[in-house]
C-alpha cells in the first residue's frame, strides 16, 4: 500500500522543477517500460506495478532488487499515473546522463531549437530513434523531453 507521502512525491514528478531537482522521470507504458528494464536497469529507481503485471513479466524484473518493486492495486495506480487510462506499471527512472563526447564529424546528431510542443518533440525523438540517431541536442527553449 502506498502512503500519502509516496503518492505526493510521485505526483510531484509531473512538474519539471521536481524532475530536475530529483533527477528522475516517470515512464509508463508496456513498450517503454520493457525497453528501460532491458537496456537501462541501472537507471531504474522504483517500479510500481499491479500484481498481474509483475507475475506476467518476471523475466523483465529478474535483475531488479526486490526493494525497488512495490506491488500496487488499480486505485493506487490511478492516483500516481499521469495517464488518463493508466497502464499496469509505472517506473521512476534516473534521467540519462548527457554525453559530452559526441563526435559531430562521425555521428549523426539532430539539433533542435525552440520545439515547444512536447508532442512534436516526442514525434521527433521517435522518428530519430527509428532512423538510428543516437544523439539529440535540444536548446534551452525546447520542451522538456521528460514531459509526459
Per the structure, the complete domain to which residue 144 belongs is given by: 98-148
Q: What cell was used for 116? A: 515547444
The verdict on 148 and 117 lying in the same domain is yes
Task: Tell me the DSSP string of the chain.
Answer: ---HHHHHHHHHTTSHHHHHHHTEEEEESHHHHHHHHHH-GGGEEEEEEEHHHHHHTHHHHTTS-GGGEEEE-HHHHHHH-SSSS--SEEEEEEPPPP-S---TTTS-EEEE-----HHHHHHHHHHHHHTT--EEEE-TTSPPTT--
The verdict on 118 and 64 lying in the same domain is no
Q: Does pTM surpass 0.85?
A: no
> 30 in helix, strand or coil?
helix
Strands 89-94, 44-50: parallel, antiparallel or unpaired by DSSP?
A: antiparallel
The verdict on 44 and 102 lying in the same domain is no
State yes or no: pLDDT of 20 exceeds 80: yes
The verdict on 13 and 46 lying in the same domain is yes
pLDDT for residue 45: 97
- The stretch 98-107 carries a mean pLDDT of 77
The verdict on 60 and 47 lying in the same domain is yes
Q: Looking at residue 25, which CATH number applies to its domain?
A: 3.30.1330.30
Separation between Cα atoms, residue 138 and residue 145, nearest integer Å: 9
The verdict on 61 and 13 lying in the same domain is yes
The verdict on 86 and 52 lying in the same domain is yes
The verdict on 62 and 78 lying in the same domain is yes
The verdict on 86 and 106 lying in the same domain is no
- Give yes or no for a contact between 142 and 121, defined as CB atoms under 8 angstroms apart: yes
- The stretch 73-80 carries a mean pLDDT of 95
Last residue of a domain, one of 70, 94, 118: 94
The verdict on 88 and 118 lying in the same domain is no
Last residue of a domain, one of 48, 79, 94: 94
pLDDT for residue 148: 64
Last residue of a domain, one of 94, 109, 127: 94
Number of domains in the chain: 2
The verdict on 22 and 77 lying in the same domain is yes
The verdict on 106 and 86 lying in the same domain is no
Q: Residue 46: how many CA atoms within 13 Å on its side-chain side? A: 14
Amino acid at each position: 500500500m502506498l502512503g500519502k507521502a509516496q503518492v505526493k512525491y510521485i505526483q510531484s514528478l509531473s512538474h519539471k522543477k521536481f524532475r530536475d531537482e530529483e533527477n528522475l522521470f516517470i515512464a509508463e507504458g508496456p513498450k517503454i517500460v520493457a525497453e528501460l528494464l532491458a537496456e537501462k536497469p541501472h537507471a531504474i529507481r522504483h517500479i510500481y506495478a499491479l500484481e498481474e503485471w509483475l507475475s506476467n513479466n518476471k523475466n523483465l524484473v529478474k535483475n531488479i532488487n526486490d526493494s525497488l518493486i512495490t506491488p500496487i492495486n488499480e486505485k493506487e495506480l490511478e492516483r500516481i499515473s499521469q495517464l488518463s487510462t493508466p497502464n499496469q506499471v509505472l517506473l521512476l527512472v534516473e534521467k540519462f546522463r548527457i554525453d559530452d563526447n559526441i563526435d559531430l564529424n562521425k555521428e549523426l546528431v539532430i539539433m533542435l531549437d525552440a520545439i515547444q510542443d512536447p508532442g512534436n518533440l516526442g514525434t521527433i525523438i521517435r522518428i530519430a530513434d527509428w532512423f538510428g540517431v543516437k544523439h539529440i541536442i535540444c536548446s534551452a527553449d525546447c520542451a522538456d523531453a521528460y514531459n509526459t
